[in-house]
Chain A
C-alpha cells in the first residue's frame, strides 16, 4: 500500500469532487489538488517509465524539481510533457504517462532494463555501427524523447506577451521574497513579485512555523493583503525562466483555457532573487524506485493536500528539516523510522524511532520500495523512503546574468559570488536556510536547519545508484566517463547526458561532479559547473510566438482598392508581402482570358505596391549613379531608365525603373517585394558613404496608388477619361513621364511597360485612387477593357522575357547573366557590387538567362533541371525559372538559367524533374515581338 488521504489538507475544497483519467484509469480528486497529489492519494505509485531502461518511476518532488512525474494531456487541451506536480487537477483531464506502453504500470519495453549493461552512457558511439549506423538510427531516435505530440490536436491558443518596467522584480514568493517585496514597496518602489506555485508562500505553505505570533500560512495571507494594498503586482503560477541583457527577465505566466503561458518581458531597475533551494537526493542502490521521494515533498503533500505518501516510512536526512516531515507523518498515523545521517539525533523528544549514523545501502523492491537495507545490514520494512541529502541553492538566474559562483565548504554548495549589478540574491538561494535568519526580529518559531553533512556518491559503490532520473544516468556512467578520460565537467555532461533533460540537472549535476571530483582527485570547485542557460524550466514555443500566428504572422499589406477588387470578383493571393488579385472571376480559366484580352485591347492592373522611394538632394544624381549598375545621372528630368541594383557580392538584388522628376529628385520604382529592403539599402549607403546633408531618402510607396493601363488601346482610354496631359508619342514617348490631373488631384503618368505592350502607370494619392479607378473601368467598357490579375501579368511579361527578381534570378545571378554587360565593360567610377564582378569566383558561377521551348505540348515544369551526363553521372547545368502556356502564342513558353546558355541557342537539352525527362530547345528569352513594336502600337 502507498499513499492515502488524511482528513487534513488546507488547499482542498472537499465540497467539489472531480475526476480525471490517468492511463485510462479514473482518479478521484478535489478542487485544489494537483494531478500529482490526486494520484498519490489514489495509491498510484508508478507514474512513468524512465527514458532509457524503462524502469518504473514514481513522484520524487512536489514542484518544478520533479523529474519523473511528467505526462501528456490529451483531448481538447492537448499538451505534451506536463509536470504533474504543478498541474492543477481538473474535471475530465485525460492524461497519458510518458514512455510507458501501453501504460506506466504495464510497459512492454520494461525488458530493456535487463540489457542495461549493453546500453550504458554513450553506447551509441560504440554499438550499432555496422553495417551502417543509419540502419539503426531511426528506431533509436523513435525511442528518444519524453512525451508524444498529437499532430491532430489544436495546440495552444495564443497569448500576447506583455512588456513592463518596474523598480524591483522579486523572483520567489517564499518568506524571503515576501519580506523583500514588502520592504521595497514600503519604500515607495514599484514592485512585481512572481512565484511558480499556485499559491505564494514557498515553504511556509507546508512547514510548521510561527511568525510574529501567527501561524505561517496566516502570516503569508496577511503579507499578501498588505502587499496588494501597497500596490505590489503579485503573479502566481509564473516562472522566471531567464535573465537577459540590460536587466531583462523573462517570466512565463500560466494561462487558463488552453492558452499558451503568457511571456512577460520585465525590465526592472533591480531584481531580487529569492528562488529558494532544491532538496538533494541521497546515493544508495535502487534510489530510483517508486516510493523514494524528497522529504520536503512528503511534508508538502501532507500539509497542503492531506496526502500521506506512505504508511511505513523511512526518513533519511543529513540536516534538521526532515524532522518536521517525520513528525507530521507520525501524527497522521504512519509508522516512521528516521535515519539521522549526521551521526546523532536532533535534540528533543521524538515520537518515532531514530537511528543515528547509519546510511542506506540499498532500497529493496521490484516495482516499488518494499524495504531498505542499512549499511549495518539491518533491514527495515517500508513502502516509502523520504530523503533529504541537503539543499542546493537555486542560483540559475544569477549565473545567467554572468554571476560567478563560489564554493562554500561549510554548506557544501555553490553560492552566488561577486555581486552582479542590478541583481541581489537572498534567503535560501544564498544558503540561508533557517527561517529565523531569513526573518530576523519577527519572533520566528520553526525547526532549525541545524548542522548538516554531505553524502556524495562514492566510486565503486555496490549496485545501481541513480544520479539523473530523467536521462537514466548512474554513478557507473560517471565512472565510465572517467575511464574514457572524459573528465572535464563539460565532457562529463555531454558523454553521459547528465543534466541534459528538461530538469537541467537540478538534482543530478552536483552529485555527478562531486563523484567526478573524487575520481580525479580534484575538489568540487576545481571540477566546476557547466553553463547555466535559459530557460530555467521548459517554456512552450507558442508562448514566444505570442499572437504571431495565423493571419497575424508575417501579415500581408492590403491594397487601397482591395474592397473594390472584391466587389469585382477578384481571387486574392499573396505576392511579395501584399494581398493582391490573382485573377478576376470564378475560376482559374480567367487567367488566360485576361492575358489574351489585354494584348488585344486594354488591361487595367492595380500596381500600387510598386516601390516609390524618393531620392532627393543636390547629390541625388551622384547617389543613384553609385546605387545602380547602370549610369543614371545622365537621365534627363521627365525621363525613366531601367536598371539593376546589385548586392556587394555582385548578384542582382533588384531591378526596376528609375524616374527623374527634376534635377534633385528621383523616384526608385523598385519591385514591390523589395521596397523595405531597398529602402534600407538606400538609407545605409546614404549614411555610410554620402554627405547626409545633401541627399535624403523618403519611402512614399504607401502614399500613392499606381494604376496600370496596358494594351494597344491604352492611350485611347486615357484620352477618353481626360487627364489634362499631352499623351501623344512625341510628348510622352516610351520611358518618359508627364504630370496630369484628375478631379483636381495630380496624377503622375509614367510610360513604362511590364507587359511589352503600350503601357502607362498612373500614380495618384492612395486616398483619391478609387475615383480614378472607377472612371477607368467605366470608360474602359467602350474599349473592352479587362481587369488584369497577377497571374495574367506573369504570362504577359514572360512572353516578353521580362524577369522577376528572385524567380528568374537567384543569389548568384549577375547582370551579365541577364545579357547586360555594357556597364561592367564600359563604366568608369565605382558602383555597388563593382568589385565583386571582377572576382574570378563570381565569374565562374555564370549561368545565362535563356528561353526554353518545350518540344512537347505541355509547359515545362518550373524547377526542372537541365541535365547532362558527365563521366557516367547526371549533372545539373541549370533549371527552369518560369513556365506558362501562352494564350497569345498558343504554345508553352519558359525561361531558365543555364550554364553557357547564350552560346547554345537552338540546342536541344534534356530536363529532369521528379523522375521524368522532357526535352526543350534553348531559345532567345523574348518569345513575342522581339522588335518591340507593341510598345508603340
Chain B
C-alpha cells in the first residue's frame, strides 16, 4: 500500500441524519444526489455548507471527510470483480447504498462507467489486499 495514500487529502463528505427533506430545503442539496444509507441517514458528497451538530429543523450533521477513502472501479472486469465481493448489484444496489463488500460495510456510489466504493479508511489496506488476491485468480 503506497505510504502516501494514507495521508492523502480527502474529498469532503458529510453524514446527515434525521429529517432529510428539511436538510435538503435548508442546505439546497438535492436528495437525488446524496447516497442514502438508511431510512433517515445519508452521505452527502461535498460540503453541505452547514455547521456540524444539531439543527432545529430536525437533522444533525457530522463531518466524515477524512473517515472514508474512495476507490473507483471501472473496466470490463467490473461485473466479475463485483460478483466476488458482494451479493448486491453494484450498479443498482437498491434504496440503501450501504452494502457488504469483501466482508466489510461500504457505501456504493454508482457513476457513469464506474463505481465508487467509500470505505472506512482503516480498512483501506485490507481491501487493497483483497483486490490483489481476487485479481490473481482466473475469471469465473
Query: Interface residues, chain A, CB within 8 Å of chain B?
Result: 158-164, 262, 264-265, 267, 547-548, 551-552, 555-563, 578, 609, 614, 616-618, 620, 661-662, 664-665, 692-693, 696-698, 700-704, 765-770
A700 touches B63 (CB 8 A): yes
A767 touches B53 (CB 8 A): no
Closest residue to A546 on the B side, CB-wise?
Answer: B84
B120 touches A702 (CB 8 A): yes
- Digit string of B1-24 for contact with A (CB within 8 Å is 1, else 0)? 001001111100001011100000
Question: Does B26 touch A at the CB level, under 8 Å?
Answer: no
B17 touches A696 (CB 8 A): yes
Question: Does B96 touch A at the CB level, under 8 Å?
Answer: no
B53 touches A616 (CB 8 A): yes
With A and B bound together, what is the CA distance between A141 and B27 in angstroms?
70
Closest residue to A555 on the B side, CB-wise?
Answer: B126
Q: CB-CB < 8 A to A164: which residues of B?
A: 83
B88-128 with Cβ < 8 A to chain A = 102-104, 120-126
Q: CB-CB < 8 A to B18: which residues of A?
A: 617, 693, 696
Q: CB-CB < 8 A to B134: which residues of A?
A: 160, 547
A163 touches B137 (CB 8 A): no
With A and B bound together, what is the CA distance between A743 and B92 in angstroms?
41
Q: CB-CB < 8 A to B86: which residues of A?
A: 163
16 additional A-B residue pairs with CB within 8 Å, beyond A557-B122, A557-B123, A703-B65 = A161-B84, A548-B103, A552-B129, A555-B103, A555-B126, A558-B123, A560-B7, A561-B6, A561-B7, A578-B122, A665-B54, A693-B18, A696-B17, A696-B60, A698-B15, A702-B120
A169 → chain B closest CB, angstroms = 15
A700 touches B60 (CB 8 A): no
Q: A558-B124, A662-B53, A703-B63 are in contact. Are A563 and B133 (CB under 8 A)?
A: no
B125 → chain A closest CB, angstroms = 5
Q: CB-CB < 8 A to B9: which residues of A?
A: 767
A698 touches B62 (CB 8 A): yes
A560 touches B58 (CB 8 A): no
Question: Does B40 touch A at the CB level, under 8 Å?
Answer: yes
B101 → chain A closest CB, angstroms = 11
B2 → chain A closest CB, angstroms = 9
Q: CB-CB < 8 A to B6: which residues of A?
A: 558, 560-563
Q: A162-B84, A698-B17, A702-B120 are in contact. Are A693 and B126 (CB under 8 A)?
A: no
With A and B bound together, what is the CA distance between A492 and B139 in angstroms?
46
Closest residue to A552 on the B side, CB-wise?
Answer: B130
With A and B bound together, what is the CA distance between A561 and B107 in angstroms?
24
B66 touches A766 (CB 8 A): yes
- Digit string of B60-92 for contact with A (CB within 8 Å is 1, else 0)? 101111111000000000000001101100000
From B3, B15, B58, B66, contact of A765 by CB (8 A): B66
Question: Does B140 touch A at the CB level, under 8 Å?
Answer: yes
Interface centre among B17, B126, B129 (most CB of A within 10 A): B17
Q: A560-B7, A665-B53 are in contact. Are A702 and B68 (CB under 8 A)?
A: yes
With A and B bound together, what is the CA distance between A665 and B54 in angstroms?
7
B56 → chain A closest CB, angstroms = 8
Interface of A is mostly: mixed
15 pairs, CB–CB < 8 Å, chain A vs chain B = A160-B133, A160-B137, A161-B84, A162-B84, A557-B123, A558-B123, A562-B6, A662-B53, A693-B40, A696-B17, A702-B67, A703-B63, A766-B66, A768-B66, A769-B7
With A and B bound together, what is the CA distance between A662 and B63 in angstroms?
16
With A and B bound together, what is the CA distance between A552 and B140 in angstroms?
20
Interface centre among B53, B124, B134 (most CB of A within 10 A): B53
Q: A558-B122, A766-B67, A767-B9 are in contact. Are A692 and B54 (CB under 8 A)?
A: no
Closest residue to B83 on the A side, CB-wise?
Answer: A162
With A and B bound together, what is the CA distance between A547 and B120 in angstroms?
20
B87 touches A664 (CB 8 A): no
Q: CB-CB < 8 A to B133: which residues of A?
A: 158, 160, 547, 552
Closest residue to B8 on the A side, CB-wise?
Answer: A767
Interface size class of B (residues with CB under 8 A): 35 or more
A766 touches B63 (CB 8 A): no
B130 touches A693 (CB 8 A): no
From A547, A556, A614, A770, contact of B62 by CB (8 A): A614
Closest residue to A618 on the B side, CB-wise?
Answer: B54
Q: CB-CB < 8 A to B102: which residues of A?
A: 547
B127 → chain A closest CB, angstroms = 8
With A and B bound together, what is the CA distance between A267 and B62 in angstroms?
38
A208 → chain B closest CB, angstroms = 36
Q: CB-CB < 8 A to B125: which residues of A?
A: 558
A702 touches B83 (CB 8 A): no
From B60, B120, B130, B140, contact of A616 by CB (8 A): B60
With A and B bound together, what is the CA distance between A703 and B130 in angstroms?
23
Q: CB-CB < 8 A to B65: which residues of A?
A: 703, 765, 767
With A and B bound together, what is the CA distance between A163 and B85 in angstroms?
8
Q: CB-CB < 8 A to A159: which residues of B?
A: 137
B120 touches A557 (CB 8 A): yes
Q: CB-CB < 8 A to B40: which residues of A?
A: 692-693, 696
Q: CB-CB < 8 A to B3: which residues of A?
A: 563
With A and B bound together, what is the CA distance between A552 and B133 in angstroms?
9
Closest residue to A769 on the B side, CB-wise?
Answer: B7
Q: CB-CB < 8 A to A700: which residues of B?
A: 15, 62-64, 67
With A and B bound together, what is the CA distance between A561 and B9 in angstroms?
14
Q: CB-CB < 8 A to A703: which residues of B?
A: 62-67
From A162, A609, A704, contact of B66 by CB (8 A): A704
A747 → chain B closest CB, angstroms = 13
Closest residue to B58 on the A side, CB-wise?
Answer: A693
Q: CB-CB < 8 A to A698: which residues of B?
A: 15, 17, 60, 62, 64
With A and B bound together, what is the CA distance between A548 and B6 in angstroms?
24
With A and B bound together, what is the CA distance between A700 and B14 in angstroms?
10
Q: CB-CB < 8 A to A163: which residues of B?
A: 83-84, 86-87
With A and B bound together, what is the CA distance between A562 and B137 in angstroms?
29
Q: CB-CB < 8 A to B64: which residues of A?
A: 698, 700, 702-703
Q: CB-CB < 8 A to A158: which residues of B?
A: 133
With A and B bound together, what is the CA distance between A552 and B41 in angstroms?
30
With A and B bound together, what is the CA distance between A704 and B125 in angstroms?
18
From A160, A262, A702, contact of B121 by CB (8 A): A702
With A and B bound together, what is the CA distance between A162 and B138 in angstroms?
12
A617 touches B60 (CB 8 A): yes
With A and B bound together, what is the CA distance between A615 and B123 in angstroms?
24
Interface centre among B8, B41, B62, B65 (most CB of A within 10 A): B62
With A and B bound together, what is the CA distance between A768 and B6 in angstroms?
11
Closest residue to A157 on the B side, CB-wise?
Answer: B137
Q: CB-CB < 8 A to B122: which residues of A?
A: 557-559, 578, 609, 702
B10 touches A767 (CB 8 A): yes
B102 → chain A closest CB, angstroms = 8
Q: CB-CB < 8 A to A616: which residues of B?
A: 17, 53-54, 60, 62
Q: CB-CB < 8 A to B8: which residues of A?
A: 767
With A and B bound together, what is the CA distance between A894 and B60 in angstroms?
45
Closest residue to A253 on the B side, CB-wise?
Answer: B140
Closest residue to A664 on the B side, CB-wise?
Answer: B54
B24 → chain A closest CB, angstroms = 16
Q: CB-CB < 8 A to B140: which residues of A?
A: 162, 262, 264
Q: Give the 3 A-B residue pairs with the shortest CB-CB distance, closest first.
A: A557-B122, A703-B67, A702-B67
